[in-house]
Chain A
């Protein structure tokens, strides 16, 4: 029972944690809480504030785990702890790039289904080069790639298709044809990691266009319908295949 009062966070990095586990932080993070204690040995503690990421909540002396997953730690810049969990349901987060489906065109605002609990709103002026006279040609059922500017639990999420300088930088209406499908959020994070092997190996197979949304949606377009479907099947299966199985499958396909 004593162990459940809390275990050191450092010892659990990279291991599975479950909700209800209490993580104790190294002592130097707590010194700010008790302001009257003087730090005699300067320079030993890292500067900056600790970032408590998704899956963790501050509770008293330490961090309480709220979702199950692997505990991760990033030492740079004050340090960050978060829980890497596999889930399929998306919760909107500010700054995420997502693929939305237009469901309603209500006057000046489009409502997009992004897979969260509420539809996101997108103003017609939030496209590059859009003015009151020059409206973007968006129909119900179109796919839009944009990012969230407002996304918290209290307000309806809002999206835009331009970045802070007014340029579209790849966002906007996704073109005709292609295939949209849904995968788990863990696979999305794997694909978006720098130097992802899956994408590199696939690109040697056929040329294709790919849009990855953080809400679990992927849009693929290759030259023919059959190539598109092959890529879709490989991406969907990547979740459960190990690296060797994937290489074997791709070798078989490129041999054909």
Chain B
């Protein structure tokens, strides 16, 4: 459907910004994501899975990336990694793809409405949360190479 298509486009644009395509001309790189269970924050889960898959495959990447979802509740509080229930109750849901080099923003998408200041606050919270995810990547890779 249209929703899946838009998710595909967002993922594709993020990956294209990060993968060093110059090293593989005339080559198609296809990334297949199969949703096993959806408990909320699906797009950022897909982004994280895509980054780990690209890492595992050994494709040359300029930087790592991760996805963080923020839910803005009606009273203005920011919830990171909302569940499906929290997403339904929220006023706006923002998803950011954040790169590991200087925490730059690769992709931002919003569902619902929020003010510019609120978006900036969500972005700052997401950039802080990205540290945890990058540390998780580092620990996973360390575990793999320790065998």
What is A's interface to B at a CB cutoff of 8 Å?
A: 1, 4, 16, 18-20, 55, 57, 64, 66-70, 85-89, 117, 153-154, 240
Establish whether residues A64 and B62, one from each chain, have CB atoms under 8 Å apart when the complex forms: yes
Q: What is the number of contacts between chain A and chain B, taking CB atoms within 8 Å?
A: 64
Q: Does the CB pair A20–B101 fall under 8 Å?
A: yes
Once the chains bind, are A68 and B100 in contact (CB under 8 Å)?
Answer: no
A4 and B102 form a contact (CB under 8 A): yes
Point out residues on B near A: beta carbons under 8 Å: 20, 23-27, 55, 57-64, 99-102, 137-138, 141-142, 144-145, 147
- Given the contacts A16-B141, A18-B141, A19-B63, A67 and B102 also touching, CB distance less than 8 Å: no
**In the complex, what's the smallest C-beta–C-beta distance from B106 to chain A, in angstroms?**
12
Which has the most chain A C-beta neighbours within 10 Å: B26, B58, B62? B58
Task: List 13 other contacts, CB 8 Å, given A4-B101, A19-B63, A67-B60.
Answer: A1-B102, A18-B141, A19-B62, A20-B99, A64-B62, A66-B20, A66-B61, A67-B55, A67-B58, A70-B145, A88-B57, A89-B58, A117-B27
Note all chain A residues with C-beta closer than 8 A to B147.
Answer: 240
* Alpha-carbon distance between A89 and B23 when the two chains are bound, in angstroms: 14
Tell me the nearest residue of chain A to B138, going by C-beta. A18
Flag if B62 contacts A85 (CB, 8 Å): no
Give CA–CA (A67, B147) in the complex, Å.
Answer: 18
